Amino acid sequence: MCGIAGILSYSQPLHEPVKQIKKMLARINYRGPDESGIFLSQNLVMGNVRLSIIDIHTGHQPMADTSKTYYIVFNGEIFNYVELKKELINKGHSFQTSSDTEVLLHAYMEYGSGCLQKLNGQFAFAIWNDKEKELFLARDRVGIRPLFYTWHNNMLLFASEIKAIAEYPDLKLMFDFSTLAQVFTYWTVLTPATVFRDIYELPPGHFMKITKTGIDIQQYWHLHFPTQPDEYYQGNLYDATQELRTLLSRSVKLRLRADVPVAAYLSGGLDSSTITSFINRIMPATLQTFSIGFEESEFDETPYQKEVSEYLNTRHQFFYCTNKEIVRYFPDVVWHAEIPVLRTAPVPMYCLSKKVRDNNIKVVITGEGADEMFAGYDIFKEALIREFWARQPDSKYRPLLLKKLYPYIGQFQGKNRMMFKFFYGYHLSETNSPYYSHILRWKNTSGLLNFFKDHLVKADAELNPAIELHNIMDNNIMQWNMLSRAQWLEIKLFMSGYLLSSQGDRVTMANSVESRYPFLDHNIIEFAARLPSDFKMHGLNEKYIIKKMMQGKLPENIIKRPKQAYRAPAGNSFFLSGEDYVSELLSERGINEAGVFKFDMVQRLTDKISTSQQATEFENMALAGILSTQLLYYQYISQKRFRPEPSELKNCFTFIDITQNQT
């Protein structure tokens, strides 16, 4: 795993290019502390910092082909590089290293952009064709690895993280308030935008070609659900279970490829337990597993973690994340996330990856993706219940299914039925809306916009996702069933924009740890999309096919336990911690300087939480969102506080300078 950065200019000479690229790379040195490298031509300077995992001794970057025409910097892993290398050798290619980087470079030389269809991996990379003076950038199918870019003074700047781009002289970051408001509605920003004006991400499943004549951005992969009966999986549940077992076994085997030790996260839930079980069968040697627990029993899953570890005989290490640690590391997480977060859940994952790295582990395998692909989230059940209720909107009993769905939310416990129906009955009859599954969540979250200053957003405007989501919406979405539409929205927005970013790549790579996700193998994603809904959500029994597959392979207690949403303490923890930054950021001076929120509303929120020591889910989201936005302002806009100094760039093993060979 690595971090990459580059500067491309066709219209003017690069100014101090080596100095500038070193500053950009130093800012993300934690992504690859083992070594670094730089490529320099008249038009382009690019480089990488490397976390050595495959071919530690000869896989240095940047890397060139033998003709000195193609040059690559690469962040990620190509898991099927062994098979792809054999294919390329049969086509006449020869290799100097054992790295997946060289295989990727030759795959591009052979197939061009078509190579992306052959890759099984998680990646963001840049390839320079010096003969054609063409730069090719690409990102993996679901956005596991990040890639950002901007245009500045007719130059293209790109990097794995925005903070590296911000190191370029005279580039001043500014909030884009329209996309900042999106975070306080959708929990993320709609790609390709970011919360910073004129800074963009290359969307998942896309590539970009830049030449002297222009830019071409194309989508090479999209998630497709069946629109016709014959597009669904045609076998029975038993057949599908066996096929999933084969696909998952193959995916886990590929993700165990590394020249360093590989560990696993073990949350105590079905997904991570399933992955750990598969690893144990593939690698009988005792697997090292890691988990994290909390002081408050409401959030803690420690008993389940211990039960699975003992059942599978893993070498388990358990860590507590205290409420004080959540508050203490919150600024660090926001710095790495580069986007406001509406909950504290990324912080424990940051602490866990820190513990993993302290144990000299560079690679962890996790269970992310199963909830999205096999319908594990309550929001899917909620959509199906609301659709069921909408068929008889006057029913007294159908909406009561929702009370069983969210027992941990006390807002409606004991309240009269009319208030309950009013809350969950929002746009109840609009079952033909492509956003039906998420419209209630977005409406509730968008209430946070009331904290924004009035001239920045229209908080009282009716939520209209049709306008904002138009450019990224799949044209076939209304031909899909309700569950497929809900899954598509969750995968397209929340999984890529939040789960794999703020709670994934950013918090693990902050501690120089690479995370791998077997459930997000594109073969499994495409298989799951074709399954009949009943194989995934059987009545209201989520991830039904996974549970069937794991019968006898895991404790029954783990298979049958209800889905527990991953949550972390928030709210009053910020006021009990004694951390000075909380009062500083939420003070009238701090709020007014950032210029985003109304101080009187922030004050009412903080007074209520700090005095009562209790907060609703909405208030917790508001507090986390406001604090993280304030932190981003000071870290990235004013650059006054809460930002670490860049580490010194060390071990620059590779420097390729071809400026003397060009005319």
DSSP 8-state assignment for residue 583? H
Domain boundaries, the chain: 2-221, 229-368+500-560, 378-489, 573-637
Percent of the chain exceeding pLDDT 70 equals 94
Domain 2-221 top-level CATH class: alpha beta
Whole-number pLDDT of residue 164: 98
Residues 500-509 pLDDT 10s: 999 999 999 9
Whole-number pLDDT of residue 6: 98
User: Considering only CA atoms, which of 578, 547, 572 is closest in space to residue 561?
Assistant: 547
Conformational region of residue 76, where left means phi above 0, alpha means psi within -120 to 50, and beta covers everything else? left
Lowest mean pLDDT among 2-6, 194-198, 332-336, 608-612: 608-612
- Is pTM beyond 0.75 here? yes
In this prediction, residue 663 has a pLDDT band, given cuts at 50, 70 and 90, of very low
Once rounded to an integer, what is the mean pLDDT over residues 203-229?
Answer: 96
Please state which of the four CATH numbers 3.40.50.620, 1.10.10.10, 3.30.70.3270, 3.10.580.10 is assigned to the domain occupying 229-368+500-560: 3.40.50.620
Percent of the chain exceeding pLDDT 90 equals 77
Lowest mean pLDDT among 181-190, 216-225, 321-330: 321-330
Residues 537-590 pLDDT 10s: 999 999 999 999 999 999 999 998 877 666 676 767 887 677 889 999 999 999
Lowest mean pLDDT among 112-126, 305-319, 410-424: 410-424
Once rounded to an integer, what is the mean pLDDT over residues 618-631?
Answer: 95
* Phi, psi for 269 (deg, rounded to 5): -90, 175
> Whole-number mean pLDDT of the chain?
92
Once rounded to an integer, what is the mean pLDDT over residues 521-540?
Answer: 97
Q: Cα 314 from chain centroid?
A: 27
614 or 108, higher pLDDT: 108
Residues 146-188 pLDDT 10s: 999 999 999 999 999 999 999 999 999 999 999 999 999 999 9
Once rounded to an integer, what is the mean pLDDT over residues 223-243?
Answer: 96
Once rounded to an integer, what is the mean pLDDT over residues 190-204?
Answer: 97
In this prediction, residue 32 has a pLDDT band, given cuts at 50, 70 and 90, of very high
Whole-number pLDDT of residue 77: 96
Whole-number pLDDT of residue 461: 62
Residues 114-128 pLDDT 10s: 999 999 999 999 999
Whole-number pLDDT of residue 416: 56
Once rounded to an integer, what is the mean pLDDT over residues 201-222?
Answer: 97
Would the pLDDT of 395 be above 90?
no
Residues 78-89 pLDDT 10s: 999 999 999 999
| Element holding 17 (H helix, E strand) | helix 17-27
Residues 257-283 pLDDT 10s: 998 889 999 998 999 999 999 999 998
Once rounded to an integer, what is the mean pLDDT over residues 433-454?
Answer: 93
Give the DSSP letter string of 311-365.
Answer: HHT-EEEEEEE-HHHHHHHHHHHHHHH-S--SSSTHHHHHHHHHHHHHTT--EEE
596 in Cβ contact with 346 (< 8 Å): no
